[in-house]
Structure 1
Amino acid sequence: MPSFQQQFRQAWQKLLPQFLPEHWSVEQHERCLEKLLHAYQEPQRAYHQLQHIVECLALFEIVQNQIEDALAVQLAIFFHDVVYQPRSASNEQESAMLMRQQLAGALPETQLDKIANWILATQQHAVASESDLAYLLDIDLAILGSSPQRFAEYQQQIRQEYVWVDELIYQEKRHAVLRQFYLAQPLYQTRYFQQHYEQQAKANLKQALA
């Protein structure tokens, strides 16, 4: 099976034909890819790294027939965690800004605005008014409804990112986050994720909160 880096690279390269060649060259596409790869392999990341993006892209492939602006959703996936510092509260804002810098001129300004707003929305995961955004947010949270084994790995990865936090404080804060997800009715916003991930997510969260 290809590595996460290979899968990430292949998915990015598939996007090239969707850009207008007069505004976006093969060289720009490759430079942007290298910047993304470098970012997602930074040492402070354990969960917010290539694996997470590849898993999100795989889910996009499954639901893409339900999505109107496929390019925007994929770009939002690629860029939504491109800036990630566990101690920072502005990761989403900086990720949206970096996306704008990298793709300036490559897409219409209205599309860049939309992608930026979607990246910002991944911070709060509020109820979305747009169908595409609802799918993006559900894709981002699909890890909660993964297999018990993958969910356990995810829990360990998040703890690793916050290794500098005292254990008691971490457990208290983490419990509050997971409880908020557990109490959400429903957790997922789209029918597909409600049907395929909701039940497992609630089981995983209940186990984690026990």
Structure 2
Amino acid sequence: MLKEVFISLVSKYSQDKEYIDSLWNEVVKNHGKKNRHYHNLSHLENLYSNLLAVKKEILDWDIVLFALFYHDYIYNALKQDNEERSAQKAIKIFSSLSIDPDRIELCKKMILATKGHQVSKSNDINYFTDADLSILGSSWTVYETYYKNVKKEYKYYPDFMYNKGRVNVLKHFINMPRIFKTDYFYSKFEKQAKNNLQQEIGLLS
């Protein structure tokens, strides 16, 4: 499914089938790396299905899709600049596709917004970051698989270090006035997300 979405998207901006295929193959290669237990193609599929539900509310659907495919393009659990490097890679590709600079800037902001998930003036960005966090409000069974996969990505760290850092991240979300900025995602996921985060903190403390 994702391949068809990607090919259809990029084909609007390039007629070079070989180039389009190479871009898709790079997306698959990066998201299929062995150290990616959560930040992989399954995450992109989940993100896409959640965004589809609010497609009619999104102003620039193509840019949201581009952000979907490139927001975790670079991912290394040992680094702190994954979003910045992913955005840089995205900008380079979008420039090659002759996408309007203002739209490239929006996509850059969208990718960088996944670092802190703060409220944005752009509702497209809010929908995107909410969809990115939708896993937090899933059923406990699904959430359990998610947090175990995240831990696998940080296997380089001893438990005492990982647990402390993870609790800080979870508390960051719990202490937000709202985890989900848009009403749609808030009503659907907020309550369950808070419960899941609190339960994981209990397991880590």
* Short-chain TM bin: over 0.9
Partner in structure 1 of residue 3 of structure 2: 9
Distance 1:27 1:61 in 2: 28
Task: Say what the alpha-carbon RMSD is for the aligned residues.
Answer: 1.3
Provide the residue aligned with 1:123 in structure 2.
Answer: 115
**Percentage of pairs with the same residue:** 27
Matched, 1:165 2:157: yes
SS at match of 2:38: coil
Q: Is the 8 A contact 1:79 1:95 kept in 2?
A: yes
Larger displacement relative to structure 2 (156-165 or 23-32): 23-32
Deviations 1:33-89 (A, max 9, x none): 001000001122111111111110111111101100000011101100000011011
Query: In the alignment, is residue 147 of structure 1 matched against residue 134 of structure 2?
Result: no
Structure 1 stretches of 4+ moved >6 Å: none
The residue type equivalent to 1:187 in the other structure is I
Any stretches of 5+ residues in structure 1 without a counterpart? Answer: 1-6
> Bigger shift: 90-99 or 102-111?
102-111
**Matched residues in 1 for 2:177 and 2:91: separation?**
34
- C-alpha contact 1:46 1:161 (8 A) present in aligned 2: yes
What are the ranges of 5 or more consecutive residues in structure 2 without an aligned counterpart?
none
- Count of aligned positions: 201
Cα distance in 1 for residues equivalent to 2:194 and 2:39: 22
TM-score of the aligned structures, taking structure 2 as reference length: 0.93
Stretch deviating more after TM superposition (105-114 or 168-177):
105-114
Tell me which of 81, 92, 96 is aligned to 2:87. 96
Please state how far the C-alpha of 1:26 moved relative to its aligned partner.
2.4
| Alignment deviations for residues 129-150 of structure 1 (CA, whole Å, 9 cap, x no partner) | 1100000110111110011111
